[in-house]
C-alpha cells in the first residue's frame, strides 16, 4: 500500500536550476550559461555546475525554458519531400546544430511555391523554433511568405540572394554556363537540358549559353528531381538523336543513365550525360557520373552557423561569400560520335 508520504514524494518535481545553483555555490544564471554551452564561464564554475548536475540527476526542462523565453533551442528546417539534396544539406545543418546544442525540427513543403514554403514555415513557428533554415531554392516571394520569415531569423541555402531575405549566395548560373561550354567544347552541336521543378534561373543560364554560342536551343525537358522523371524524359532524348544532355539533378540523371542502358545507348560514346549537385552516389554509377560539384553539406553548415549568429545578434549582416560550384568530370562525358558533330 502506498503511504501518503510516498505518494507525495512520487508526485514531487525533480531538482530544478535553483537546486543546482545552491549546491554548486553559483548563480542560476551561471548554471544556465553552463548548460547552454556559453564560452564565458570559468573552468572551476563549469566543473562545479556539472558536478552538481550529476549529483542531483538534474535534466534541463527545455519546454519550460522555451515558454519562459518565448523561444526554444530548436532550429526549424523546411525541405522538399524528395531527393538526396535534402539529406546532404541536413548533414551540414545537423553537425553545426548539434555542436551548439540545438535540436532540429524539419517539415516538408509541397513545392518551392511561396505559398507552400509559407505554410511550412508557419508550422515551424507554431513549435516556437528560434530560427528557420530553408533547405530549398528561394526565388519567388509573396506577402505571406515575407511576413512569416520576418518573425524569426531565417536563411535559405540555395539560389541567389533575394533583396527581401537572407540566402547563402550560390552562383549556380555560372556553373551551368561552364557545363554547357564544356560540352560544346567537346564538339557537341548542342546541349539538351532536363530541369527540375522550379529552377528558372538555371534554365535561362543554359538557354543564354547556347544563344551566345549560336547553337540550336532544344525544348526543355521538365522533370521533378526524381529518377523516375529522368527515366521517362530520356525517351524524348532517344527520339531527338541528342548527343549531350545537362541534367539539373543527379538523381534525375540516374534515371537517364538507366533508360539509355536499357535502350542499348552507350554512355559516353553515343551520349554524354552531365548531372548537377554531385550526389554522393554519383561516383558509384556505371559509368561514374560527371556532375556539377555543389558542396551541399557545406552550404547547410554555413546557413546554420549564420542563423545561430543571427539568433544571438539579430542585426548581424550576412557576409558576402559566393559559392561557385565546379565541374566534377568523371566518365559520362566525351566527344560526340563521328558524324554527329
Give the separation between CA 232 and CA 200, rounded to whole angstroms: 21
In the chain the domains, ranked by start, together with CATH numbers, are 15-60 (1.10.260.40), 72-170+296-325 (3.40.50.2300), 172-293 (3.40.50.2300)
Q: For the stretch 212-241, what's the b/e string if a residue is b when 16 or more beta carbons lie within 10 angstroms of its beta carbon?
A: eeeeeebeebebbbbbebbbbbbeebeeee
The continuous run of DSSP H or E covering 43 comes out as helix 43-56
Give the separation between CA 300 and CA 308, rounded to whole angstroms: 12
With a cut of 50, list the residues of the chain below it in pLDDT. 1-12, 62-63, 67, 164, 314-315
76 touches 153 (CB < 8 A): no
Nearest to 71 by CA among 155, 152, 165, 154: 152
Evaluate if pTM is beyond 0.75: no
Give me the DSSP letters along 307-329: HHHHHH-TTPPPP---B--EEE-
The residues that bridge with 193 in the sheet, in sequence order, are: 246
User: According to the model, what pLDDT value does residue 321 have?
Assistant: 64
Which backbone phi and psi does 211 adopt, to 5 degrees? -60, -45
User: According to the model, what pLDDT value does residue 319 have?
Assistant: 58
181 touches 209 (CB < 8 A): yes
192 touches 222 (CB < 8 A): no
Give the separation between CA 89 and CA 135, rounded to whole angstroms: 7
Pairing of strands 290-293, 326-328: antiparallel
Give the tens place of pLDDT for each residue, 165-190.
577 777 889 999 999 999 999 999 99
Alpha helices in 100-226 (DSSP H): 114-125, 143-149, 172-185, 200-212
User: According to the model, what pLDDT value does residue 104 have?
Assistant: 94
Give the tens place of pLDDT for each residue, 216-259.
999 999 998 899 999 999 999 999 989 999 999 999 999 999 99
78 touches 134 (CB < 8 A): yes
Q: What's the length of the chain?
A: 341
Give the separation between CA 299 and CA 294, rounded to whole angstroms: 9
User: According to the model, what pLDDT value does residue 2 have?
Assistant: 40
> If phi over 0 gives left and psi between -120 and 50 gives alpha, with beta otherwise, what is residue 146?
alpha
User: According to the model, what pLDDT value does residue 9 have?
Assistant: 38
Give the tens place of pLDDT for each residue, 191-222.
999 998 777 889 999 999 999 999 999 999 99
Amino acid at each position: 500500500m502506498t503511504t501518503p508520504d510516498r505518494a507525495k514524494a512520487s508526485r514531487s518535481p525533480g531538482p530544478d536550476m535553483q537546486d543546482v545553483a545552491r549546491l554548486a555555490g553559483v548563480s542560476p544564471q551561471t548554471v544556465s550559461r553552463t548548460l547552454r554551452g556559453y564560452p564565458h564561464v570559468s573552468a572551476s564554475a563549469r566543473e562545479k555546475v556539472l558536478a552538481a548536475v550529476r549529483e542531483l540527476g538534474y535534466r534541463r526542462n527545455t519546454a519550460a525554458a522555451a515558454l519562459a523565453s518565448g523561444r526554444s533551442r530548436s532550429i526549424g528546417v523546411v525541405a522538399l519531400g524528395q531527393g538526396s539534396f535534402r539529406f546532404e544539406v541536413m548533414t551540414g545543418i545537423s553537425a553545426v546544430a548539434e555542436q551548439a546544442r540545438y535540436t532540429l525540427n524539419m517539415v516538408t513543403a509541397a513545392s518551392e511555391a511561396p505559398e507552400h514554403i509559407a505554410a511550412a514555415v508557419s508550422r515551424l513557428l507554431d513549435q516556437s523554433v528560434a530560427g528557420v533554415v530553408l533547405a530549398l531554392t528561394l526565388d519567388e516571394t509573396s506577402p505571406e511568405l515575407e511576413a512569416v520569415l520576418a518573425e524569426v531569423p531565417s536563411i535559405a541555402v540555395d539560389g541567389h540572394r533575394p533583396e527581401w531575405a537572407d540566402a547563402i549566395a550560390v552562383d549556380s548560373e555560372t556553373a551551368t554556363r561552364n557545363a554547357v561550354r564544356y560540352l560544346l567544347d567537346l564538339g557537341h552541336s548542342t546541349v539538351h537540358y532536363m530541369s527540375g521543378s522550379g529552377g528558372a534561373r538555371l534554365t535561362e543560364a543554359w538557354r543564354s549559353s547556347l544563344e551566345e554560342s549560336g547553337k540550336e536551343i532544344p525544348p526543355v525537358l521538365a522533370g521533378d528531381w526524381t529518377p523516375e522523371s529522368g527515366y521517362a524524359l530520356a525517351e524524348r532524348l532517344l527520339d531527338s538523336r541528342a548527343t549531350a544532355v545537362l541534367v539539373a539533378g543527379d538523381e534525375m540523371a540516374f534515371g537517364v543513365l538507366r533508360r539509355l542502358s536499357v535502350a542499348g545507348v552507350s554512355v559516353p560514346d553515343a551520349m554524354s550525360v552531365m548531372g548537377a549537385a554531385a550526389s554522393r552516389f554519383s561516383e558509384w554509377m556505371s559509368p561514374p557520373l560527371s556532375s556539377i560539384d555543389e558542396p551541399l553539406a557545406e552550404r547547410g553548415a554555413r546557413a546554420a552557423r549564420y542563423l545561430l549568429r543571427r539568433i544571438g545578434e539579430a542585426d548581424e549582416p550576412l557576409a558576402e561569400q559566393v559559392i561557385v560550384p565546379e565541374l566534377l568530370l568523371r566518365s559520362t562525358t566525351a566527344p560526340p560520335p563521328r558524324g554527329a558533330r
